[in-house]
Structure 1
């Protein structure tokens, strides 16, 4: 028997790894937009273009999927920033690379940034605590990066987490602005942030301040 020509190529079946990646990507987008409590697995399956039964093959419940994508996005953010922190050069060069890396992460993975930095409250205290843990981890990374510069500026003790939080919030604000203004010269954006931080920190304990 001759096979009837349909005029179109047969659809290729996605591998399990590809389906899982689609589910994870869709979950990040939907959780970031709607929050944990309002999101259903059916919405994520639809966004991923897979049957709900396929989603269950990879993630048995919403909580495990949410925790998984939180961890994945946090690791991605820290890995990208760590490339700047541990790169070559002096402290100024590494700070420049770190700022540029975070701005790039925000442009490349805006939903991931919202999920970690501006999450819709989950309605679950334990899950909210997990998110706070990731925030604390990011703050520790920045504190480690800036430790020598903070010490030189006379910033110590209880002032350290306050200054670090201010710096993180400021750089994140610039990152969001940069993502909304893609035509802006990114080198100039990074340079402006670097100059403010690098020149401002040493003046923190300036005895001549008014």
Structure 2
């Protein structure tokens, strides 16, 4: 039976969250250039005019979505890196946290680690800035472990090792997406065998 009860009007922050949620799959699946503000507005159940009330441009919306997913990833990894246990145990927990993010936030991971980064110069610059900021935060979290291994965190050697681990985990995640029958634990074991070996060999005996 139809009613004439008025629909609940969403408050500004709630509508903004709806827009961010609608924008994530659009940017992650289609890429920055092909993303459509019209599709995002329709998915959020608003007009383009309402969308522009919250975000002045596609670029502004992209930056907000990118930042939101970066914070979620850092939260996943930070909790693991701050956990108790040996360095090896923390690194295993961190590898697992990264792959859990891939599993639980596939669109967020796809946005942060796209096969093809944005071509638009401004969007590409912001994407690179987010990646650089993530690397900076993770390097800070890894600093104590690096020093125990005799590495100065800001040294070329340490930065290269961090980059190898980051890119190795990204490659493992891409492989895992193509082999979804493999368990996360098995991928973590493989990542530890490949990536911990180099860093673990630096640990004091």
TM-score > 0.5 by shorter chain = yes
Paired residue secondary structure (1:66):
helix
What do the CA deviations read for 1:135-156 (whole angstroms, capped 9, x no partner)? 1222233434444555566666
Counterpart residue number, 1:77 = 73
In the TM superposition, what are the counterparts of 1:62-141 in structure 2 within 5 Å? 62-118=58-114, 120-141=116-137
Counterpart residue number, 2:176 = 178
Any stretches of 5+ residues in structure 2 without a counterpart? none
Question: Quick one: distance in 1 between partners of 2:9 and 2:192?
Answer: 44
Which of 34, 37, 44 does residue 40 from structure 2 map onto? Answer: 44
Counterpart residue number, 1:15 = 10
Question: Quick one: distance in 2 between partners of 1:175 and 1:121?
Answer: 17
Question: Quick one: distance in 2 between partners of 1:37 and 1:15?
Answer: 30
Task: Please report the RMSD computed on the Cα atoms of aligned residues, expressed in angstroms.
Answer: 2.9
- Residues 85 and 97, structure 1, Cα contact 8 Å, conserved in 2: yes
Counterpart residue number, 1:192 = 190
Paired residue secondary structure (1:88):
coil
- Residues 78 and 141, structure 2, Cα contact 8 Å, conserved in 1: no
TM-score by length of 1: 0.79
TM-score by length of 2: 0.80
Question: Quick one: distance in 2 between partners of 1:19 and 1:119?
Answer: 30
What do the CA deviations read for 1:151-210 (whole angstroms, capped 9, x no partner)? 566666322222221111111122233344443222232233224333332447xxxxxx
Any stretches of 5+ residues in structure 1 without a counterpart? 205-210
Question: Quick one: distance in 2 between partners of 1:117 and 1:184?
Answer: 21
Shift of residue 82, structure 1, vs aligned partner:
0.6
Question: Quick one: distance in 2 between partners of 1:37 and 1:83?
Answer: 34
- Residues 152 and 202, structure 1, Cα contact 8 Å, conserved in 2: no
